[in-house]
Amino acid sequence: MFMQFEILKSDKNSSARLGKCHTAHGVFHTPAFMAVGTQGTVKALTPEDLREMGAEIILSNTYHLYLRPGHERIRQLGGLHRFMHWDYPLLTDSGGFQVFSLNSLVKISEEGVEFQSHLDGSRHGITPEKAVEIQEALGADIIMCLDECTPYPAGHEEAERSMELTLNWSRRCRDSRRRLDQALFGIVQGGMYPDLRKRCVEALREMGFDGYAIGGVSVGESKEKMVEVVSQTVPLLPSDQLRYLMGVGTPFDIVQAVQQGVDMFDCVLPTRNARNGMLFTKRGRLVIKNARYADDDSPVEPGCSCYTCRNYSRAYLRHLYLAEEILAMRLNTVHNHGRDPPGHGRRPVERMGQNLLCSGGFGTGRRKRTRATGPLGGFFPQKAGREEKSGAGENCVYEMILSKRPLPLERES
């Protein structure tokens, strides 16, 4: 079989689970945070960087690769794995979210979507069949059905129409697939309405897919509403298949969703914030351009083992950023994604989810007062220093999922 998913451990106090997925290009463990390589590269990082960080699966974007350099060119050059020098698990999205984000440049019909390229203004059309064709040419291990991302806010009637369109497209994607070495995921839509989400899941399960994604969240709704939608939707999905929460990746959202039983995540936050000079620490976000770091000889985060913190000071990183040096983006990104020194002992399933599962960190209701040694410590509330802002522990959570090293927990009474 082209893809196999096995559950290694389940939490007694929540729906969290640890898993392992076998694909044609190797294994990845869950919960998995996928670094986003939109155009066939995770910005500022090499594939070797990603592997040293412990990344096992990354994501690339169908829309961008279709427009440039083109899926047929990538096919002729040996497929996306070879093209980008990544011989490990790879997921491509359908491009639907990017197309719909073009707003006025898009025309949606039962047949598919017509849109104008943001590069040169040329007109293009993507049908469900075309979306599968493009992704089969790229050759990712996991591909996604074309769906309509329901806007927010949307009334019940609009959300229902959008959901029905997604179901129609999903059926056509399933029927048009030709490659059996790729897993095809269906995407659950339905806006913020539990009845529509339930209907969508039931219809997708009847069609039969290799995994299921939750789409149409983190599109402007409140955090409370997003958590509500996820918590209502996840239990409806098959327990023995992968569950993917699309486009959600803040540390708090990840931990909340892992507790609900979600296995996969993706987000541009670590790389985008790095390029904008915002660095993650256990105690909060550090804005490297601030004048207070001009003479600061300390690393971004004392005790951090990443290459950036082992070799460079805040003062130097501030200088690079203000001088608009390319190295600033690279060093900031290396830190935000979290990185162990070469040769550091790592075990494949000892990541964030396992630490929380094994330590009882999820608890039975209210979040326990937990202090963690190692990167987890920053996720839980602490008193922040004067230079830090909200968002403590973001680097910690990404590092725990990307790297597979043991992170022992200690309890406080």
Mean pLDDT of 249-276: 93
Kindly name the residue from 11, 49, 263, 266 that is annotated as catalytic. Answer: 266
Asked whether the predicted pLDDT for residue 258 surpasses 60, the reply is yes
Q: Is the peptide bond before 153 cis (omega within 30 degrees of 0)?
A: yes
Task: Indicate the average pLDDT of the chain.
Answer: 86
Same-domain pairing of 173 and 30 = yes
Same-domain pairing of 297 and 335 = yes
Mean pLDDT of 65-69: 97
User: Which of 46-50, 193-197, 307-311, 337-341 is the least confident region?
Assistant: 337-341
Per-residue confidence (pLDDT) for residue 399, from 0 to 100: 56
pLDDT: which is higher, 385 or 352: 352
Asked if the structure places residue 412 within a domain, the reply is: no
Amino acid at 257: A
Mean pLDDT of 18-25: 97
pLDDT: which is higher, 393 or 139: 139
Asked whether the predicted pLDDT for residue 343 surpasses 90, the reply is no
Whole-number Å distance between alpha carbons of 353 and 20: 13
Same-domain pairing of 286 and 254 = no
**Band of residue 163 on the pLDDT scale cut at 50, 70, 90:** very high
Same-domain pairing of 158 and 28 = yes
Per-residue confidence (pLDDT) for residue 284, from 0 to 100: 87
Which residues make Cβ contacts (< 8 Å) with residue 30, sequence separation at least 6?
A: 17, 18, 19, 20, 21, 242, 263, 264, 353
Same-domain pairing of 63 and 186 = yes
With CA atoms as reference, report the closest residue to 256 among 3, 10, 14.
14
Per-residue confidence (pLDDT) for residue 353, from 0 to 100: 53
**Band of residue 50 on the pLDDT scale cut at 50, 70, 90:** very high
What is the tens place of the pLDDT at every residue in 273-326?
999 999 999 888 999 999 999 999 999 999 999 999 999 999 999 999 999 999
Domain boundary among 218, 239, 267: 267
Per-residue confidence (pLDDT) for residue 377, from 0 to 100: 29
Q: What percent of the chain has pLDDT over 70?
A: 82
pLDDT: which is higher, 98 or 50: 50
With CA atoms as reference, report the closest residue to 36 among 326, 272, 332.
272
Amino acid at 93: D
Domain boundary among 246, 267, 288: 267
DSSP string, 301-333: STT--SHHHHH--HHHHHHHHHTT-HHHHHHHH
Per-residue confidence (pLDDT) for residue 361, from 0 to 100: 55
Asked whether the predicted pLDDT for residue 351 surpasses 90, the reply is no
Per-residue confidence (pLDDT) for residue 156, from 0 to 100: 98
Which tokens go with 286?
């550090």
Kindly name the residue from 49, 93, 147, 340 that is annotated as catalytic. Answer: 93
Is there a catalytic annotation at residue 296?
A: no
Which tokens go with 33?
């945070």
Q: Is the dihedral of CA 313, 319, 322, 326 positive or negative?
A: negative
Is the separation of the CB atoms in 169 and 197 below 8 Å? no
Asked whether the predicted pLDDT for residue 89 surpasses 80, the reply is yes
Whole-number Å distance between alpha carbons of 248 and 319: 32
Is there a catalytic annotation at residue 93?
A: yes
Query: Measured between alpha carbons, how far is residue 403 from residues 29, 69, 113, 260, 351 in Å?
Result: 11, 31, 39, 22, 7
pLDDT: which is higher, 66 or 251: 66
Residue 388's domain comprises 270-355+373-404
Asked whether the predicted pLDDT for residue 15 surpasses 70, the reply is yes
Asked if the structure places residue 364 within a domain, the reply is: no
Per-residue confidence (pLDDT) for residue 252, from 0 to 100: 84
Per-residue confidence (pLDDT) for residue 236, from 0 to 100: 98
Per-residue confidence (pLDDT) for residue 362, from 0 to 100: 63
Asked if the structure places residue 50 within a domain, the reply is: yes
Same-domain pairing of 216 and 283 = no
Q: Residue 77, class by beta-carbon neighbours within 10 Å (0-12 exposed, 13-18 middle, 19+ buried)?
A: exposed
**Band of residue 154 on the pLDDT scale cut at 50, 70, 90:** very high
Same-domain pairing of 101 and 170 = yes
Asked if the structure places residue 365 within a domain, the reply is: no
Asked if the structure places residue 411 within a domain, the reply is: no
Total structural domains in the chain? 2
Same-domain pairing of 274 and 254 = no
Asked if the structure places residue 360 within a domain, the reply is: no
Asked if the structure places residue 325 within a domain, the reply is: yes
Domain boundary among 220, 248, 267: 267
Q: Residue 114, class by beta-carbon neighbours within 10 Å (0-12 exposed, 13-18 middle, 19+ buried)?
A: middle
Asked whether the predicted pLDDT for residue 390 surpasses 60, the reply is no
Per-residue confidence (pLDDT) for residue 100, from 0 to 100: 75
User: Which of 44-48, 166-170, 178-182, 379-383 is the least confident region?
Assistant: 379-383
DSSP string, 198-250: HHHHHHHHHH--SEEEE-S-SSS--HHHHHHHHHHHGGGS-TTSEEEETT---
pLDDT: which is higher, 361 or 53: 53
Per the rule left: phi > 0, alpha: psi between -120 and 50, beta: everything else, 191 is left
Same-domain pairing of 211 and 166 = yes
Same-domain pairing of 248 and 314 = no
Say which CATH number the domain at 71 has: 3.20.20.105
Asked if the structure places residue 39 within a domain, the reply is: yes
Mean pLDDT of 78-101: 92
Per-residue confidence (pLDDT) for residue 105, from 0 to 100: 80
Same-domain pairing of 200 and 308 = no
What is the tens place of the pLDDT at every residue in 184-236?
999 999 999 999 999 999 999 999 999 999 999 999 999 999 999 999 999 99
Same-domain pairing of 110 and 50 = yes
In angstroms, the first-to-last Cα distance of the chain is: 48
Asked whether the predicted pLDDT for residue 408 surpasses 80, the reply is no
